[in-house]
Structures are given as structure tokens and as C-alpha cells.
A and B are shown apart, each in its own frame.
Chain A
Amino acid sequence: MAAVTDQMASGLPAIRRTPKGTFDLVFRNASFLAALFVLVLLAGIIGAMVAGGWPAFREFGFGFLTSSVWDTQNEQYGAFPAIVGTLSTALIALVVGVPLSLGIAVFLTQLAPPWFKRPVSTAIELLAAVPSIIYGMWGLFVFVPLFAAYVQIPLSNIVEGMPIVGTVLYSRSPSGLGILTAGIILAFMIIPFIASITRDMLEQIPSVLRESAYGIGATTWEVVRHVLVPQAGVSIIGAIMLGLGRALGETMAVTFVVGNANRLSASVMDPGSTIASRIANEFNEALGLQLHALIALGCILFFVTFVVLVIARILVARVKSF
């Protein structure tokens, strides 16, 4: 006992001799500044985007949002086709991707045998690690020809002349490229995000709830439908919003398969463009007002995704997310 106190007594001055006060202060402030940098970054992005796009906003005013003209000769720019393209590809991605993701989450948490669960989980998460340009190449060289041959051409023959369906699903030039193709590729890109968050959410639900439902004779489907989904409901919507945020801003994959047409078409089979694909396509050749118009497009995209992501984060609260 005495030895221990001796040791402590002899140890104490050694600690005091370290430049405790200054190093502590420096370290604390350095880490605080580093954390603050995150806020500065956000403010910087907002500032730079607004400043860069300002000439275009000033030139076209509110009409920038509603005009469909994109004329580099006469310096007339409107964002409407790109905004519609962005929203429609993202919507298609959700329509295709959400049922798939929820099915996968249910399979992983309720149906898969334990030994099978981990490899499947990893495979789904690896879908998120595949670079988007690879999705683009797969889409362009593999999916697009198949889609044109087996979906677009037969479907166009069937729906030709029908009201509404004949307009929305008819492809004038069945090349395989288009809004629908982009939406389907996007769906596979957002599946890992929605599926893994939903899986985490379903796993967090106390098993007592599940067991008591099974105990009164409910089938697996009834347990999922009436117990698990209502419990995890809000966070599932948050996960979907997170997927939506991804789909809105995805660039390279979409640029490969969307067709990059500047005009607006009523059919989802026709080529279109999204905000991100238009920026990626034209940015390096853009000069003057066109450059500012493209940054202004980026600014619009930023505010839309920002709102979507804020809602998503509030709903999901904190879950693992890559």
C-alpha cells in the first residue's frame, strides 16, 4: 500500500511537468475548429453555388425554372426539361426500387436462414460500393440493348395508338436509352441504401412484439404487415427519402443511359436529361452564360436534395448509412 502511494506521489510531478495547459487548449480548439469546418463547408457550397449561378438567375428570373428552351446560339436557357427529367427518373427509381428493397429487408430479417443471412447482406451492401460509372457502362453496353429488343420494341407495337398509354410508353426511336432506362438503373443503385437501413430498423424492433404476434397465430406476412411495418414506418419513409436524395443527384450512370436530349417528351421511353447529366455533358464546353446557367441548375439540384435529405435524416434519426 505504501509502495503504491509512493509510486503515485513520484508519478504526479511527471504529469504536472507536461505542458498540460497549453497542449490541452490547443488540442481542444483544433478539434473544435475541425468540427466547425463541416459547417463552413456547407455555407461555402451554398455561397459558391448561388454566386456562380447568379448571372443566370438575374438574366432569366423566375422564367429559368419554367422555360424549356436550351439554346446555346441565342443564349437562352431554361431548366424545366432537366428538372422534369430529374424528378421523373427519381420517381421511377423509387417505384421500382422501394418494393425490391422492402422485399429484400423482409427476406433478410424474417426468412433467410442464419448462415445465409450474412453473405446476402454483404452482397446487397456491395451493390452500394460499385462505382456509378460501372453502373453506367453496364447499363449502356448490357442493359440498354436488351431493354430495346425485349421491352421497348414489343411494347411500342402493343401500345401504339392507345390513348394515354400510347403516349407515355411509346418510343419513337427504340434505342433503349431514355428516362425509364435511367430510372431502372437508378433503382438498383438506391436498393442497397433503402434495404440495409430498413433491415437495421426491422432488427431493432423488440422480438417480444414479433413473438406475441406469432403466438396468437399470425402468419409471417401478417406479422410483417401489421406489426413490423407499423413499428418501423417512419424510419422506412426516412430510408426511402435517403434513397430519393441519392437518385436525384446521381450523375455518371444516368449520363450514360438517359439519352441526353434537351427537349421535353411525354413518353418515358424517349431520351431526356436530368440536371446532373446535363451538367456532366456540357460543363467542359460551356462558356459565359451557359456556364452560369449550368451552375444555376446545380444550385436548384442542391436545394432540392438538401430539403429531401433534411427530411430523411429527421425521420431516420441516427442509423448507419453507407
Chain B
Amino acid sequence: MNLTPPSASAAPAMVMTPEGPWGRVRPARRNADRLMKIIATAFTLVAITVLFWILGMLVVKGIGGLSAGTFTQITPGPGTEGGGLAGTYLAEYGRGSKLANLIRFINDILLSAPSILIGLFVYVILVEPFRGYSGWAGGVALGIIAIPVIVRTTEDMLRLVPAPLREAGSALGAPPSVVITAITWRAAKSGMVTGILLALARIAGETAPLLFTALNNNFWFSPTLVGGVSNLPVTIYQFASAPYENWQQLAWAGSLIITVSILLLSLIARRIVRGGK
């Protein structure tokens, strides 16, 4: 059995050292390899450059308007409890059942469904029948976007809880509900918080669904959440499209605030996940 490539036929690898590791490799193969390495590195640099370019742009243009940054923003998450419970079902009760697999599959699809469609959906079921944009409709839209994220992370985190913990609970005579609430949830607590943070990061920057639901209100938000409610993303959209210099300045300041807070949220969430594993 001759496994060595033809170009390196006689000598074992160790002997090549005087000429470097490339000693007996044909130039065409060596060049293809080098080219690939350069391209892969360059592509990575391009992506990182774009990230820092965007961040740099936000800082440069946004920092001046920060003093005027008197925005309010609401990001209610009514999906939290429901999402957590659904994730619990998938991880604890529904293991391996066909229905649970279907729900998991659909949930994964909703996870990446375009958010503008969620906005349209909430418009059809909430805004149109009640004749008016409202903070409630915006909250429902964001909640629907948050649910799949929370379901997914909760399930993943509960699955990481080792089975002996549950078995020990059951062996003491605890019913499944007690095992789940007192043992599994407690063990997976940081992971479940991460899910909520990730969902928060996801919905905090959403604009499209709010266009059709909460719309916007340039004044303060009314405590009843009826009528348009001010929110940062739609404000940015409207101010950035406006022809006035000072409005655009405000849009930049708003963008800086929202991006920095979202990036921080995601970084914290990632740190927790890594600590948990």
C-alpha cells in the first residue's frame, strides 16, 4: 500500500526539513494552497473591517448628538413565560415524541422567518380590527419574534442538565413538576436568562414590524400604550430619511445608543453561555 503522493514518493516527511515543509510539494499544489490561505484570511479581514467600519461610523457621527438623545423606547416581552414553558415541554416531556419534533421544527422556522411578516400578521389581527396603531400591538409583534428564540435556548439549556440530577429528584419521590421547577430550572437558570437576553437583543433593534403596529409618536409615550408609542428604531428611520441636518444628527445618536446596547447584551449573553458550559 503506497499512500505517499507521487511528488513525495521516496522521502518520509521528516527528511524534508532542510528545504522546509514544502520541499517536495509540486509548485502548482503549493501555490493553490497559498492562494487559498491568502483568500480566506483576506475574506475574514473584509468582514471584520465592515463591522468596525459600521461601529466607527456610529461613534463618529453619533457622539455629537448624544446630549440631545432624549428618546424613550419600549421593548416588552410578553413571550418570556410562554417561551420558557414551551421550551420546558420540548426538553422534558416531549423528548422523542413526533409532535415535539414537529413543534421544534416549526419553531426553528419561525426563528428565521422575516420579521416584516410578523408585523403584517399583527397588523391584520390587532391593528385593523381595532382601528388604530398601539403600543400593545407593537409589544405583541416583538413578543412573537422573541418566543422562538426563548423556546430554542430554554430547550438547549435544559438538555445540558445532566440526567442523574433528574433521576436523583425522582428517586426521592418528587413528581415531575417539582423535579423540573426545583431542580432542572434551577440548574439551567443562567442559560435561560441568556435566552431572554438574546431575545431582547434581537427585538431591541427591530424596525420593520413596528412600522405597522406601534408606528411612532414624537412626544412621550402615553402610559396606556394606546395610540402610537415612541420607539427608537422607527424614530431613526423617520429622522434619517428627513432632509434636516439636525434630525439626521439625532438619528445617528439614536443608532449609536441602540447598537452599543445590543452589542453589549449579546456579548453578556455569550459570556454566560460560555461560563455555563
Contacts and interface: CB of A to CB of B under 8 A. Distances in A.
Contacts of A191: 47
A35 B43 contact: no
A111 B89 contact: no
Given A249-B115, A283-B211, A295 B120 contact: yes
A36 B147 CA distance: 12
Given A48-B121, A217-B13, A309-B112, A32 B93 contact: yes
B230 interface: no
Interface string B196-232: 0010011011111001100100000000000000000
Given A34-B86, A49-B117, A111-B37, A99 B43 contact: yes
Nearest to A252: B207
A248 interface: yes
A160 interface: no
A42 B117 contact: no
B192 interface: no
Interface SS majority for chain A: helix
Interface SS majority for chain B: helix
* B37, B105, B114, B206, most chain A CB atoms within 10 A: B114
A164 interface: no
B207 A221 contact: no
A108 B102 CA distance: 33
Interface string A280-296: 10011000000000010
B262 A129 contact: yes
A38 B233 contact: no
Interface in B100-143: 100, 102-103, 105-118, 120-121, 123-125, 128
A310 B211 contact: no
A232 B63 CA distance: 45
A313 B266 contact: no
Interface in A56-112: 99-100, 103-104, 106-108, 110-112
Nearest to B7: A217
Given A138-B53, A142-B53, A216-B4, A131 B207 contact: yes
Contacts of B33: 219-222
B103 A38 contact: yes
A279 B120 contact: yes
Interface residues of A, number: 96
B117 A301 contact: yes
A28 B93 contact: yes
A242 interface: yes
A301 B173 CA distance: 52
Contacts, number: 279
Nearest to B209: A251
Interface stretch (B66-74, B160-168, B175-183): B175-183
B94 interface: yes
Contacts of A51: 124
Contacts of B30: 219
Interface string A113-154: 000000010111111011111111110111000000000000
Given A32-B89, A130-B51, A219-B29, A100 B116 contact: no
B106 A42 contact: yes
Nearest to A302: B117
A309 B105 CA distance: 10
A134 B263 contact: no
B10 interface: no
Contacts of A2: none
Nearest to B259: A134
A184 B255 CA distance: 21
Contacts of A215: 3
Interface string B216-253: 00000000000000000100110010000000000110
Interface string A287-322: 000000001001001100110011011000010111
17 contacts: A15-B174, A18-B175, A32-B94, A36-B103, A37-B147, A41-B144, A42-B110, A49-B121, A106-B40, A130-B54, A221-B32, A221-B37, A245-B112, A251-B207, A322-B111, A322-B149, A322-B198
For the complex of A and B, list the 8 residue pairs with the smallest distance between their C-beta atoms, beginning with the closest: A249-B114, A131-B205, A103-B43, A34-B85, A27-B177, A219-B33, A31-B89, A35-B89
